Amino acid sequence: MTTTTTAPPGTAAPAAGVELSDTNQHYDLPAEVFGLFLDPLRKYSSGLYLSKGDTLEQAQLNKLRFVAGRLQLGGGQRVLDVGCGWGSLTLFVADELGCEVVGVSPAGNQHAYIAGRAAELGLADRVSTVRGHFETVDLGERATGGFDAVTMLGSIVHMPDLDVVFRRARALLRRGGRLYVSESCFRNAAARAAFDAREGTQFVRSAIFGWGDMRPLSDLVRAAEDAGFSIASVDDLTDDYRRTIDDWLVNVDAATDELDAIRPGTAATLRRYLEVANAGWGYTTKHYALVCRRAR
């Protein structure tokens, strides 16, 4: 979702009275909806198009390798995947790199889906998930500062208090561990002030996600630094998200009948959300990958 998903452009602070548990009805849609327009791994965030001919599937694999590289995962590390979606990154780093991965998400359907895929792939001993919101979820013995890496692909937009999020992420990491965040952002504070209340933004916020808060990158950097992180890198993935969403739109058009058979009107709602998301790239919105290091 960033607003794009990874967060699509279109998220704001939760309305008064909105509880965390009330949010993100979008991710509680039947898992088959996402199987009809995402790539085979159901990665719901930007891909990385390394060549003109890259398909959506290739771009998402490129992106998973990019994330692993930015986190310097060489194999066997402990990873916390916050906002794990349908498990694309969780399962990828467990399978390809032998990592031990814990996924976190408030969306109930996603846990059963990931457990099924982990069993099919023979990864059940390395993959587990916890249902809840990152800010408050009980991670039990795992909350010991023993993670080598924490990832947030398209999920921080759904978390209202950046200071709580970055502080908790830092506390969960070992010294030298890394946090990877990719998120859609307003291009700057002025763009946020001008567009946050616009009709398209409000549609994405209320009709799709329930709520969310897309910020400028500077807000994320400020909160990361205040939490004690050292910024290791920033990559601009704006054009990649535009292309990813173009590919999703092609899939939505091709699967309109199946989507509407699951729930009437699903295809039109998805199309509008994705078109709103793609309208702002480079002008009002950007998509960044931010890597932070717990230096001490």
Ligand X SMILES: C[S@@+](CC[C@H](N)C(=O)[O-])C[C@H]1O[C@@H](n2cnc3c(N)ncnc32)[C@H](O)[C@@H]1O
Task: Dig out the tokens for 10 from the structure.
Answer: 């279109």
Residues 1-20 that bind ligand X (CB under 6 A): 1, 5-7
88 binds ligand X (CB under 6 A): yes
User: How many angstroms separate the CA atoms of 193 and 217, rounded?
Assistant: 14
Q: Which of 71, 102, 149, 159 binds ligand X (CB under 6 A)?
A: 159
Query: What are the structure tokens assigned to 196, written together?
Result: 């946050």
Minimum distance from residue 6 beta carbon to ligand X (Å): 5
Upper half-sphere CA count for residue 249 (Cβ side, 13 Å): 16
- Minimum distance of ligand X from residue 258's CB (angstroms): 21
- Distance CA(126)–CA(76), nearest Å, equals 10
Query: Where does this chain touch ligand X (CB under 6 A) — which range of 83-91, 169-177, 188-196, 221-229?
Result: 83-91
How near is the Cβ of 296 to ligand X at its closest, in Å?
26
Residue of the chain from 3, 12, 14, 27 that contacts ligand X (CB under 6 A): 27
DSSP H stretches of helix in 198-279: 199-203, 217-226, 238-254, 256-262, 266-279
Tokens of 63: 């992106």
What angle (nearest 5°) sits at the alpha carbon of residue 59, between those of residues 58 and 63?
115
Residues 101-130 that bind ligand X (CB under 6 A): 104-107, 110
CA dist 264 and 214 (Å) reads 29
Which contiguous run of DSSP H or E holds residue 102?
strand 100-105
Shortest Å distance, C-beta 46 to ligand X: 8
Nearer to ligand X, 23 or 77 (CB): 23
Of the residues 37, 49, 134, 248, which one makes contact with ligand X according to CB under 6 A: 134
Considering beta carbons, is residue 22 or 189 the nearer one to ligand X? 22
| Residues of the shown chain interacting with ligand X in the complex, contacts defined by CB under 6 A | 1, 5-7, 24, 27, 43-45, 82-85, 88, 104-107, 110, 133-135, 153-155, 158-159
